[in-house]
Structure 1
Amino acid sequence: MAIPDSVAHPRFADALRELGLEVEVRAFPDAVRTAAQAAAALGCELSQIVKSLVFEADGASVLVLVDGASRVDVERVREELGAGSVRRADPSVVRETTGYAIGGVPPFGHRVRTRVLADRGLLGHPVVWAAAGTPHTVFPLPPAELVTHAGATVADVRERTA
C-alpha cells in the first residue's frame, strides 16, 4: 500500500522534493526500528534493508550505510577514512548530526552534511529499503541511486564472514 510522503519525517520529505525524487513511502503501525523488523514487515530479505549508522571518526560524524544482514567493521571504516580512531556515535550525536532518532535515520536529508560511506554489498540488490525519517516509515530505491543521492563513497566496510 502506497502512503503519501506526508507520513515521512518533514525534513526527509523536503529532501525528497529537493532531489526531485518520487518514492513510495510506506508506513507501519508498529515501529520497524531494526533491520529485522523492517524486513519482516516488508517481506523482503534482511540484506535488502539499509542501516544508516552514525560513527565518530577523530571527532567528526560520518554516516555508514550497510545492509541489514551485516555488521560494520569499525577498523575497515577507520582505514577507509584514514582516521586515528572511529567509534559508534551516541544517540545525542546521531540526533544532533542527522536530525533524526536512531531507528529512523534515512540515508540523506540530514541536518548536518557529513561524509557518507556505503558498503559495496548494498549494490547486490535491484532495490533496497531505508528509513524515511521515522521508526515507522521506509522507502525503496535502487542502491546505485541511493548511493548517488546520499553522496556516498562505495567502500568495503562490513565485517568479513569467516
Structure 2
Amino acid sequence: MDASSAELKERENMPNKLRESARRVQEFLSAKGFVFEVQELPGSTRTAKEAADSVGCQVGQIAKSLVFKDKSTGEPVLVVASGANRVDLKKIKAATGLRLGRADGNYVKEKVGFAIGGVPPAGHIRPLPTLLDPDLKRHDTIWAAAGTPFALFQLKPDDLEPLTDGRWVELSE
C-alpha cells in the first residue's frame, strides 16, 4: 500500500476527518471567529428534505444556498432560502432590481468553488452578494450546507447576516 492509499484508509477510519471541501468550509468558519462545527453525515444532504431527514429537523430549518446568475453582469448571486420555500425571482427583482437567472452546475463550481448540493452560505472563492430569506428567522436553529452533499453545520438565523454580509429580502413564492 503506497502512502496515499494508507492516508486514504486512515481518513476513512477517522470520522472526525473532513473531506477537502468540508474542511475548507470549517477552516473559513474558524478563521472568521465562528464556532460552528461542520459535520459529515452518512446520509445525503443534497436536498433540503434529505438534509432535514439526516439531522432530524424540519425542512424549513434547512438554509439552502442557491446560486443564481445576474443577467446584467453574468456574476453569481447567492440566495439563502428556507428549505420549505421556493424562490420567487420576480419578488427579488421588485425588492432589489436584480434580474436573476438559473445557473448550471459548471457555472456554480467555477464561480463559487463548490458543487451544487453542497454550496455553503459562505467560504466561497470570493464573497458573493447574498440575499437571505426572512422565513429562516422563524426557527431557533437552522442547518446549512458545508461543502459536500453530506456535510452540514448548525447555526442561528441571526448568524447568517454577519456570516454572509447578506441582506434580508422577502423572496419566497
Give the TM-score taking structure 2 as reference length. 0.84
Percent identity between the aligned chains?
39
Match 1:142 to one of 150, 156, 165: 156
Q: CA deviation at 1:121?
A: 0.6
Match 2:126 to one of 112, 118, 123: 112
Match 1:30 to one of 38, 43, 60: 43
Residue of structure 2 in register with 1:6 after alignment? 18
Structure 2 distance, partners of 1:6, 1:31, is: 15
Match 1:95 to one of 73, 95, 109: 109
Residue of structure 1 in register with 2:76 after alignment? 61
Structure 1 distance, partners of 2:163, 2:113, is: 18
1:42 aligns with 2:45: no
Structure 2 distance, partners of 1:126, 1:6, is: 26
Q: Which runs of 5+ in 1 are unaligned?
A: none
Give the TM-score taking structure 1 as reference length. 0.89
1:77 aligns with 2:89: no
What is the number of residues matched between the two proteins? Answer: 156
The 4+ residue runs of structure 1 with deviation greater than 3 A are 3-8
Q: CA deviation at 1:80?
A: 2.6
Structure label with greater radius of gyration = 2
Contact 2:26–2:38 (CA under 8 A) maintained in structure 1: no
Q: CA deviation at 1:4?
A: 4.1
1:132 aligns with 2:141: no
- Rate the CA distance shift 1:40–1:104 in 2: closer, same or farther, 3 A: same
1:151 aligns with 2:151: no
Q: Which runs of 5+ in 2 are unaligned?
A: 1-14
**Deviation larger for 98-107 or 143-152:** 143-152
Structure 2 distance, partners of 1:39, 1:72, is: 19
Q: CA deviation at 1:54?
A: 0.5
Q: CA deviation at 1:13?
A: 1.9
